[in-house]
Amino acid sequence: MTESNESTILCLASFFKGNDFIRECKRQGARVVLLTREKLLAADWARESLDDLIAIPGKTSVQSYLAAAIHVARQRRVSRVVALEEYDIVTAAHIREHLCVPGMGTTTARCFQDKLAMRARARDRGLPQAEFVPLLNYEAIDEFMKRTSPPWMLKPRLGASAMGIRKLEEPESVWRAITELDAREALTDTSVFHLLEQYIPGDVYHVDSLVEGGKIHFASVERYGVPPFDVTHFGGVTVSHTVKRGAIERRELLALNRRLLKSFGIERGVTHAEFIRRAESHAKNQFYFLEVAARVGGAHTTDTIAAASGINPWREWARIELATAEQPYVLPAVRQEYGGLALSLARQEHPSTARYTDPEIVYRVCKPWHVGLVVRSPDYERVMDLLAQYTHRFNEDFTAVAPPEETPGQHL
């Protein structure tokens, strides 16, 4: 028997994240049910805001999540299905289609998770990006390497951040990588679930957006101090900061982001898109599309955006999902300041930042074997100066280097 006529937000999370979303849904009066892996049952979920928490045993799959969602739907009226984590984007779309719940379907969702689908959609819509080839047909791969100059980036089709990405310098390295991948047991780890694309050197930016009714209501433009691939593979401090307002690069990125999201067909939710500015001054296109996800940016992106603007993407996403024709989404007032993040792996399990006392610090990362600070200031140059100081001090006080992870399999 149905417990209530009230609608329910069904959340999926294969990793621990999204408490701000869950709490805001409950604050807005919604019922919230979370599906997660049994491995994460003991995590510090916002249980006070959950009407139910269902843990799926064993190795999860689309079918296991779907079965759990059907169980929920027998008891509750599910009105929205939300993937809080990138690995669940397509799974959530399958559930929406099965339950006939409004939202992104599997074809669109795949373009926000599968890097090959992203590349194909961007190519079809004429967006500037690196040349690429799927690691499928040997003749096509050979022709691609003869047509383009090395180095090339080998990327898994599924995966977040720089996980599993390799930089290869000659054809022999590509063929060896294909052989090594094809020796793996799981089909999804083999070469056919990868692509090869031409390497573009330059500075990497990200644009994080809130979308409702196909309209971008808010977008934050930030630049990484060092490309994420370099930090993942060679170590160092991850730095990200708000791009200066009025800068030409900001205007160009906002325009390219609008074109990207319109081309990819997202109607509602959040997006995290990454772009690269070519290092060559003579390049025809200054900015190239790298990737996009229908999720909140990771690595404390939310804290940096909130510091600069007062907008918390998790909370606003919840309000967007609960908006109706009678009560449409309205963006709160946006603060016009600058935010910055310095983040690093640490040699200490619980590093202390007590000696970092600048009044601009608004958030301190509290996570074992990590150190991080978020700063806020109305002065762009002050943020840049603090991030430069913290990069130097972190390297002396804390920074550790760990081998890059190849796949998320050990966590799933």
Question: 357 is written with which tokens?
Answer: 């006392």
CA distance 344 to 349: 12
Look-up: residue for tokens 């772009």?
Answer: 275
Backbone angles phi, psi at 36, to 5 degrees: -145, 180
CA distance 347 to 395: 10
- Considering only CA atoms, which of 388, 384, 117 is closest in space to residue 247? 384
pLDDT for 20 equals 97
Whether the CA torsion 359, 362, 368, 371 is positive or negative: it is: negative
CA distance 295 to 292: 9
pLDDT for 1 equals 38
pLDDT for 229 equals 80
Helix (H) or strand (E) holding 197: strand 194-198
According to DSSP, residue 193 is labeled: G
Domain ranges of the chain: 7-110, 131-198, 202-397
The tens place of each residue's pLDDT in the chain, 412 residues long, gives 344 557 899 999 999 999 999 999 999 999 999 999 999 999 999 999 999 999 999 888 999 999 999 999 999 999 999 999 999 999 999 999 999 999 999 999 999 999 999 999 999 999 999 999 999 999 999 999 999 999 999 999 987 666 789 999 999 999 999 999 999 999 989 999 999 999 999 999 999 999 999 999 999 999 999 888 888 777 789 999 999 999 999 999 999 999 999 999 999 999 999 999 988 755 556 899 999 999 999 889 999 999 999 999 999 999 999 999 899 999 999 999 999 999 999 999 999 999 999 999 999 999 999 999 999 999 999 999 999 999 999 999 998 877 666 555 544 5
Whether the CA torsion 294, 300, 304, 310 is positive or negative: it is: positive
CA distance 247 to 315: 28
Look-up: residue for tokens 């999902």?
Answer: 321
CA distance 268 to 103: 7
CA distance 310 to 303: 9
Whether 288 contacts 276, CB under 8 Å: yes
pLDDT for 298 equals 87
pLDDT for 279 equals 80
- Considering only CA atoms, which of 360, 401, 354, 358 is closest in space to residue 377? 360
pLDDT for 301 equals 93
- Considering only CA atoms, which of 357, 235, 383, 370 is closest in space to residue 304? 383
CATH match for 131-198 among 1.10.10.10, 3.30.1490.20, 2.40.160.20, 1.10.3720.10? 3.30.1490.20
pLDDT for 282 equals 54
CATH of domain 7-110: 3.40.50.20
Helix orientation angle between 301-309 and 313-322, rounded to the nearest 10 degrees:
90
Peptide bond into 404 cis (omega under 30): no
Q: pTM for the full model?
A: 0.92
Whether 273 contacts 291, CB under 8 Å: yes
CATH of domain 202-397: 3.30.470.20
According to DSSP, residue 231 is labeled: H
Gyration radius of the chain's alpha carbons? 21
DSSP string for 124-183: HTT--B--EEESS-HHHHHHHHHHSPSPEEEEESS-STTTT-EEE-SHHHHHHHHHHHHT
